Amino acid sequence: MTLGEKLRKYRLLRGMKQRELGEAVGFKPSTADVRINQYESGKMEPKADIREALAVALGVDVSAISDINVASWEDVMQVLFEFEDALGMRVEKRDGTTSLVFSDDNRDIITLISYLNLWRNKRLAMSVDDPNVSEETLRDYSLWKGSFKSNIDAYYEAKEREIEKKYAAGIQSLSMKLKHAEKTSEITLLLRSVIDAGISVGTAYLPGGTGEGACGFTFAVNDLLNPPSAEAEELVTKFLCEYKYFEQLGARCFSDIQIPGNSLMITYYVAIPSFIVITSQISDYAKHKAMEGDVGDGLRDLYEMHFKDELDSTYCNIKDEIMARSAAGK
């Protein structure tokens, strides 16, 4: 679809005439319809600033009226070949259907997987595949696609604000009396307690140049908003309090929300190299916890001995490391 065709599509979905769109962009009433007609017919292409104004007037993302134009099946195939090379996509045939498949385990494409899940969920929620779906619903669905990035960003931001609001008072109160963790081993023990309290904790790592990689700790958003117990909520509050403390000391901290499966997940990243030890220990403990019922007392005791030995031998001083990196300009 050409840029002009996309402009016409969203203008009609919004129920706007060419003159109305032109005036909304800022063109003079005497030439507004002519200018929009030139864009839609392909006689002229809008400059970047006008394209942004058109997106605002139409209530869509700029990317929705981009220059991408897949005009033939051969164009489609070249795009799919790029997906294979860059994203690990493969083709599968099953039960009379042909599917394009991406691996949920490929963390390099976690944002794409999240987008695909959100797209699927929206189709299901709006019953787009129902043969009796209304024209109004199909119109709303098309407009949702046109504002996809804006809609998703707003959704993620709203969820993060919910979490911040839920824990704000607790963090403020705790920060006044909490003796912050000095060693990485203390954060490992804290996150282990979170898992024991019934909240799953995953780990992640974002590589970066010159040792600037960030270690992440992942929680289900619903677990944070609806913790299984008062103890679990207290432990999460303590973790978030420590997280803010790392940031206050000068560590680079940031969060990321994705939906890699059926649940919305938030990852809290900390760019402290020694935290890679914490991610390893917590990942191992989560696996141990998952099969705890199948492990005998002897193996359980052996694991606890190994866990304690590792804590005693691999810890780092958090404050000293952050300060040293800050002094080195990292």
> Do both 142 and 9 map to the same domain?
no
Q: How far is CA 155 from CA 148, 161, 164, 255, in A?
A: 11, 10, 14, 15
Among 11, 37, 65, identify where a domain stops.
65
CB 192 within 8 A of CB 185: no
Domain of residue 39, residue span: 3-65
Same domain for 308 and 227: yes
What is the count of structural domains for the chain? Answer: 3
Instruction: Tell whether 118 is covered by a domain.
Output: yes
**Number of CB atoms found within 10 A of residue 19's CB:** 18
What helix, strand, coil percent values describe the chain, rounded to 5?
60, 10, 25
CATH code, domain with 42 = 1.10.260.40
- Say whether 101 sits in a helix, a strand or coil: strand
Residues 112 and 194 in one domain: no
Please indicate, yes or no, whether residues 157 and 304 belong to a single structural domain of this protein.
yes
Inside any domain, residue 70: no
Say which residues have a Cβ less than 8 Å from residue 82's Cβ, sequence separation at least 6: none
One domain for residues 24 and 57: yes
Residues 57 and 135 in one domain: no
Of the candidates 113, 146, 179, which is a domain's last residue?
146
Residue 74 lies in a domain: no
Q: Which residue has the tokens 């904790």?
A: 201
Are residues 196 and 116 part of one domain? Answer: no
Same domain, yes or no: 26 and 108: no
Rounded to whole angstroms, the maximal C-alpha distance in the chain is 86
Specify the DSSP class assigned to residue 197. T
Work out the burial of residue 36: count CB atoms within 10 Å of its CB; fewer than 13 is exposed, 13-18 middle, 19 or more buried: buried
- Rounded to two decimals, what is the model's pTM? 0.86
For the chain, 330 residues long, give each residue's pLDDT as a single digit of tens: 889 999 999 999 999 999 999 999 999 999 999 999 999 999 999 999 999 999 999 999 999 998 888 889 999 999 999 999 999 999 999 999 999 999 988 888 999 999 999 999 999 999 999 999 999 999 999 999 999 999 999 999 999 999 999 999 999 999 889 899 999 999 999 999 999 999 999 999 998 755 578 999 999 999 999 999 999 999 999 999 999 999 999 999 999 999 988 899 999 999 999 999 999 999 999 988 887 766 667 777 888 888 899 888 888 999 999 988 877 776
- pLDDT tens, residue by residue, 123-179: 999 999 999 999 999 999 999 999 999 999 999 999 999 999 999 999 999 988 989
Q: Does 135 share its domain with 267?
A: no
Residues 161 and 268 in one domain: yes
Q: Is 287 left (phi over 0), alpha (psi -120 to 50) or beta?
A: alpha
320 within a domain of the structure (yes/no): yes
Residue 72, domain member (yes or no): no
- Are 178 and 113 found together in one domain? no
The token pair that represents 269 in the structure block:
């990243």
Phi, psi of 80, deg, nearest 5:
-65, -35
DSSP calls for 58-72: HTS-GGGG-S----S
Residues 176 and 283 in one domain: yes
Unique residue bearing structure tokens 């164009």: 75
Cα 21 to Cα 36: distance, rounded to the nearest angstrom:
7
Q: Last residue of some domain: 49, 65, 81?
A: 65
